[in-house]
Amino acid sequence: MPKADIHPKTQTVIFFDASADFKFLSSSTKFSNETMEWEDGNSYPVIRVDTSSASHPFFTGKQRNVDIGGRVDRFNRKYNIKN
């Protein structure tokens, strides 16, 4: 017999990244007492996030890839791989 009410309750929320002034509407199991009005005129709970695609270095193109200690070169020398 299936169990009733085993799934968490979801609601539509606004995820808000204040560092980039970026927000998006999505569904979540998180709850918040803070609300904000969305573009459709409805008010939704706000979940504040530290990082989003608008502020993360990987998505903004500001990420630096640094080969610390020459790991690739050491690997190639160890296994005698010629480039």
pLDDT at 78: 85
What is d(CA 12, CA 39) in angstroms, rounded to the nearest whole number? Answer: 14
- What's the mean pLDDT when you consider all of the chain? 85
What is d(CA 68, CA 26) in angstroms, rounded to the nearest whole number? Answer: 38
pTM as predicted:
0.64
The answer to whether the Cα torsion of 19, 16, 31, 28 is positive or negative is negative
pLDDT at 67: 60
What is d(CA 33, CA 76) in angstroms, rounded to the nearest whole number? Answer: 55
Write the pLDDT tens digit of every residue in 22-61.
999 999 999 999 999 999 999 999 999 988 878 776 666 7
Map out the domains of the chain as residue ranges: 1-64
Residues in the chain, overall count: 83
